[in-house]
Amino acid sequence: MGHSLRAAALLAFVVLSILVSLLISSVQQFGGRISHLTNATRAGHEESASLRGALIYQLNERRREIVPLLLLHGGDGDDDAGGLPGESRLSAQHGQPPDPISDSSVWNEIAHGSRAARLDEMGCDSLVDMQAVEVLGSGYTKLVVKVNLAGGQPVALKLVNEKGIDMSKCVEDFKDPHGCRELVSYKLKKELVLLQRLQHPNVIKLKGHCAGEAEKGRLTVILEQGAPLQMIQLLQSPWEDRFRVCLDLVRLLHFLSRSPLGSVALLDFQPRQFVTVSGSLKLTDLDDASAAETPCQTDADCGLQFPHRNFSLPCSSRGVCEDLGEKRNIYNAYRYFFTYLLPHQAPPGLTHLVDHIMNSTGELKADINETVEAFERILHLYRSGLHLDNLPPSVFTDYTVMPGTGASGSVDYRCWPSYSQQGCVLSVHSAREAAFICSSHPQCSSFTLTGQKTWTGRLLASFRSSSAQLVPDEASEVYVKKTERPAV
């Protein structure tokens, strides 16, 4: 009995020690797991804090870029006071001390300012009951939608492109969609400020904007509607229209070289940053425009690099690269626009002037003043017909004029580049030039001047073969080659 009692006590002791040791080891394991988890959470927190810090840094950089543009406007003293309460969700949360530059009261006018309100009148109210028609275009940063406002007015709305490269890259880097929308929207804000400051016939017209109070980064810019620039289509259009695009561009660059913000360089210069409105060229993408000067010590600091060409500009006594932005704009205009649009089919009397422009801009020998003068001279000669001085006078006498008549008939012979797909319609300075053209086309036996004009004021002439029928038309006159007279 005593024996069995001792055995039972021993067994109980063994079981108990096993249980205790099991308990200890599981507690140890549990503790280990807890400490492992705590380390992981701490690392996660540290990572997200550092991402947040990096994003805040970026946000502040973007604001720093915009504020000088606001201040540069010469301050007409009617800015809204009020600083930046909660302007940046992230920096406010982070509890950073106010930045002396970005805390400027003038900042507020981006969203609510009195000056802005005077310049672009439409606000959020204008967008009530609008109808979205289609997407007009999109880029790395922005999405542009064609809409009809409640009153029927067509406009283009610019927003942050949620699916654009800028947004997706930011979310990949910072893992914060809200913060990223705020960051990307700074580009749109900068564009808004530049559109307010840089008003010109060749800059897209700002009609208004709507900045959502509650959600940062929800900015909608309201613009006049244009048509995205179609280079391929332009290449097939008459020289006069291609010249117009180049002239508009040069007038824009002339304005930018001495704008209210100083000399402005377009850092992302591509045809897709422009649209046309009734045939005239307008810059629409301004977020990469820069009014900053490039500091230098020697000429070697003032290099301009392009894929096939490098230039070196002088470093001025002020320690900045002389006219760097202006020259950069001119060479980009040459390489993206002039080379494709200007020389091809230029009127014979103007080719020497066109060649001169090609040379002086392609070699950066002329500044923007000289370039704009050269373009305006071509326009003057072309409009006035002075470039036609050496047309043979005899050609014109070969035609009989029939006032009060027009030509009718189905599709006639075609020429290239014609203003009409249906026949041969070209612009001329006068009946004399039209007679000269008709004589140089083997099929041509008559031409009609309808009184319609191109943007330069030149006349549209319709050239026809002998199959044309004459009909009464008060507004036009037909010129028929004396040798062949069509049936009336």
Ligand X SMILES: Nc1ncnc2c1ncn2[C@@H]1O[C@H](COP(=O)(O)OP(=O)(O)O)[C@@H](O)[C@H]1O
Write out the catalytic residue numbers. Answer: 268
Ranges assigned E (strand) in 212-366: 219-223, 227-228, 265-266, 274-277, 280-283, 289-290, 303-306, 309-312
**Closest distance between ligand X and the C-beta of residue 61, in Å?**
18
Strand partners, 310: 305
Among 88, 104, 259, 273, the residue binding ligand X under the rule CB under 6 A is 273
- Quote the DSSP letter at residue 43: H
Which residue of the chain is nearest ligand X when measured via CB? 139
Nearer to ligand X, 233 or 345 (CB): 233
Q: Tell me which of 139, 179, 226, 325 binds Mg ion, using CB under 5 A.
A: 139
In angstroms, what is the minimal distance from the CB of 414 to ligand X?
31
Stretch that binds Mg ion, among 64-72, 139-147, 176-184, 334-342 (CB under 5 A): 139-147
Can you tell me the distance from the alpha carbon of 234 to that of 274, in angstroms, rounded to the nearest whole number? 13
Asked if 240 is part of the footprint of ligand X (rule: CB under 6 A), the reply reads no
Judged by beta carbon, residue 270 or residue 312, the one nearer Mg ion is: 270
Amino acid at 121: E
Q: What are phi and psi of 153, to 5 degrees?
A: -65, 125
The nearest distance, CB 190 to Mg ion, in angstroms, is: 13
Question: From Mg ion, ligand X, none, which one binds at residue 330 (CB under 5 to 8 Å depending on kind)?
Answer: none
Please report, for residues 252, 302, 326, the alpha-carbon distance to residue 294 in angstroms, rounded to integers and kept in the order given: 22, 8, 12
The DSSP code for 419 is: S
Q: Binding to ligand X by residue 82, rule CB under 6 A?
A: no
Only segment of 9-17, 102-110, 284-292, 402-410 that touches Mg ion (CB under 5 A): 284-292
CB of 284 to Mg ion, least distance (A): 8
Cis (ω within 30 of 0) for the bond into 68?
no
Which of 80, 84, 111, 140 lies at the binding interface for ligand X (CB under 6 A)?
140
For residues 184 and 372, which CB has a smaller minimum distance to Mg ion in the complex?
184
Q: Is 77 helix (H, G, I), strand (E, B) or coil?
A: coil
226 lies in the binding site for Mg ion (CB under 5 A) = no
Q: Which two tokens stand for residue 11?
A: 């067994």
Give kind and range of the element (H or E) at residue 293. Answer: none
Long-range contacts of 4-12 (CB under 8 A, 24+ apart): none
CA distance 125 to 184: 24
Q: Which does 138 bind (CB under 5 to 8 A by kind): ligand X, Mg ion, none?
A: ligand X
Residue 466 binds which entry of Mg ion, ligand X, none, with Cβ cut-offs from 5 to 8 Å by kind? none
Q: Could you say which of 139, 208, 406, 486 contacts ligand X (CB under 6 A)? A: 139
Question: Rule CB under 6 A: is residue 204 a binding residue for ligand X?
Answer: yes
Of positions 91, 108, 137, 447, contacts ligand X by CB under 6 A: 137
Neighbours of 442 (CB within 10 A): 8
Residue 457 CB, nearest approach to Mg ion (Å)? 33
The answer to whether residues 218 and 294 touch, using CB atoms and an 8 Å cutoff, is no
Out of 144, 266, 407, 461, the residue judged to bind ligand X by CB under 6 A: 144
Q: Which residue has the tokens 């370039």?
A: 371
The residues that touch ligand X, with contacts defined as CB under 6 A, are 136-142, 144, 156, 161, 164, 204, 223, 225-226, 228, 272-273, 275, 284-285, 287
